[in-house]
Copies of this chain bind each other. A is one copy, B any other.
Amino acid sequence: MVSRRDFIQAGAALLTAGAVTRSAIAALPEAPMQDSPKTQPPLVPRDGRPYNPVVTLNGWSLPWRMNNGWKEFHLIAEPVVRELAPGMKANLWGYNGQSPGPTLECVEGDRLRIFVTNRLPEHTTIHWHGILLPNGMDGVGGLTQPQIPAGKTYVYEFEMKHSGTFMYHPHADEMVQMAMGMMGFIVVHPRDPNQHRVDRDFVFLTNAYDITPGSYTPRVNTMLDFNLWSWNSRVFPGIDSIPVRLGDRVRIRIGNLTMTNHPIHLHGFNFKITGTDGGWVPPAAQWPETTVDMPIGSLRALEFDADAPGDWAFHCHKSHHVMNAMGHDVPTMIGVDHRGVAKRIISLVPDYMVMGERGMADMGEMEMPLPDNTLPMMTGSGPFGPLEMGGMFTVVKVREGLARNDYRDPGWYRHPPGTLAYEWKGDI
């Protein structure tokens, strides 16, 4: 599913100016592209140090090449079209074909060289949120480096000092570029694959958009009142479910790059926060929780034992964050009997639908025509009927046999028991 696109060499001129390039300037590595919003299979490490890969919800991990002991990635900042859920697409900015960008996976001790090519209409940078690195590699435009002009390529080089979960995003015209969807994950695996080991390991980011129903481009100046609350730029029912095997130890790593906290609630289990973007939380300091209040600009890795089978809701507990764009402005009709009024309106507006007189549960099945390119406020169906949800909602499916009962492509999680530790490929 990973397509490839030739790299335009025009950016190479900036290379020597842009960063410490101790290595001879080789041809730039290829920049794999992704054209699907579906969850991709984990990227099994073919060279470099071995690790147990993560699964990026509705996303993918970026392949790399090894070059004289350096792990080289190539990110392309560019406008992308992202399907938020079937029926709605958005014009975003992202990396390598999607928003959010691909997850970069590496191992403690790895030396990374990351080429960043700017195909946006304005300058950009990348800040490596949470990573301990030399000041010149920190990616703050104006402060630690010149901006990367449109059309140019910049190189970042640093060694991964410690394992953990980190994020990348621009530190240039920051409000606009993040409101447009420019963000991604960096997972640094422990040098010993048995350290902090779990059976299933998922990552996703919370983000948010304000897109007027019927239009395609986010309003970049919105500060509080977003109408699309998303995980990895997807909203329910576009968010893939999270399938785990009964008895698995499960880790879900969540980053928050919106402008408000998200209390992410898991039904059916108690979990503990085992890691942040500052490192691993000592077990003695962990709290039992059913909801993690995701702070902004932070990462939380939650872990639990999937010891109860079933379909467990997993969602933000702000109730307007589990709704989609349409219907935000519906007035309160509870207790108002407006059948007479409705009849008169319907004679003028044939599609008029009386909403909310007895609550809004009817909207889960409503048939009022929507504008093109938007999503109903409450939607999605489960085995017992409409779920009346949207936005930041999905289901953790705990199954004895993972192949059973999963209606989406189940291929990617079918790695047999015992094969999650990849073999050491030799010293690099």
Chain A residues in the interface with B (C-beta under 8 A): 91, 120-123, 127, 129-130, 132-136, 138, 140-147, 171-180, 217-221, 223-225, 259-261, 263, 265, 267-271, 276-282, 284-291, 293, 295-298, 308-313, 317-320, 322-323, 328-332, 334-335, 356-364, 378, 380-389, 395
In terms of DSSP, what is the predominant structure of the interface of chain A?
Answer: loop
Q: A135-B309, A173-B388 are in contact. Are A281 and B291 (CB under 8 A)?
A: no
Residues A173 and B220 in contact, CB atoms below 8 Å apart: no
Give min CB distance, A348 to chain B, whole Å. Answer: 24
Residues B220 and A332 in contact, CB atoms below 8 Å apart: yes
Residues B312 and A138 in contact, CB atoms below 8 Å apart: yes
For residue A278, which residues in chain B have a CB less than 8 angstroms away from its CB? Answer: 270-271, 287-291
Contact of A288 among B280, B322, B330, B364 (CB under 8 A): B280
Q: Give A422 to B300 CA distance when docked, in angstroms.
A: 42
Residues B388 and A141 in contact, CB atoms below 8 Å apart: yes
Residues B284 and A123 in contact, CB atoms below 8 Å apart: no
For residue A361, which residues in chain B have a CB less than 8 angstroms away from its CB? Answer: 122-123, 147, 172-173, 176
Q: Give A286 to B287 CA distance when docked, in angstroms.
A: 9
Q: Give A129 to B123 CA distance when docked, in angstroms.
A: 45
Give min CB distance, A216 to chain B, whole Å. Answer: 8
Closest B residue to A223 by CB, please name it.
B320
Closest B residue to A175 by CB, please name it.
B319
Give min CB distance, A279 to chain B, whole Å. Answer: 4
What are 5 A-B contacts defined by CB distance under 8 Å? A135-B311, A147-B385, A263-B297, A277-B290, A278-B290
Residues B332 and A217 in contact, CB atoms below 8 Å apart: yes
Q: Give A335 to B144 CA distance when docked, in angstroms.
A: 29
Q: Give A318 to B172 CA distance when docked, in angstroms.
A: 14
Contact of A173 among B221, B291, B360 (CB under 8 A): B360
Give min CB distance, A357 to chain B, whole Å. Answer: 8
Residues A332 and B219 in contact, CB atoms below 8 Å apart: yes
For residue A323, which residues in chain B have a CB less than 8 angstroms away from its CB? Answer: 175
For residue A378, which residues in chain B have a CB less than 8 angstroms away from its CB? Answer: 173
Residues B142 and A385 in contact, CB atoms below 8 Å apart: yes
Residues B171 and A313 in contact, CB atoms below 8 Å apart: yes
Q: Give A147 to B383 CA distance when docked, in angstroms.
A: 12
Please give 12 more A-B residue pairs, beta carbons under 8 A apart, in addition to A141-B385, A220-B360: A91-B335, A121-B358, A122-B361, A129-B290, A132-B308, A136-B310, A140-B382, A142-B384, A143-B384, A175-B360, A271-B278, A293-B296
* Max chain B C-beta neighbours (<10 A), residue from A145, A173, A386: A173
Contact of A176 among B297, B360, B387 (CB under 8 A): B360
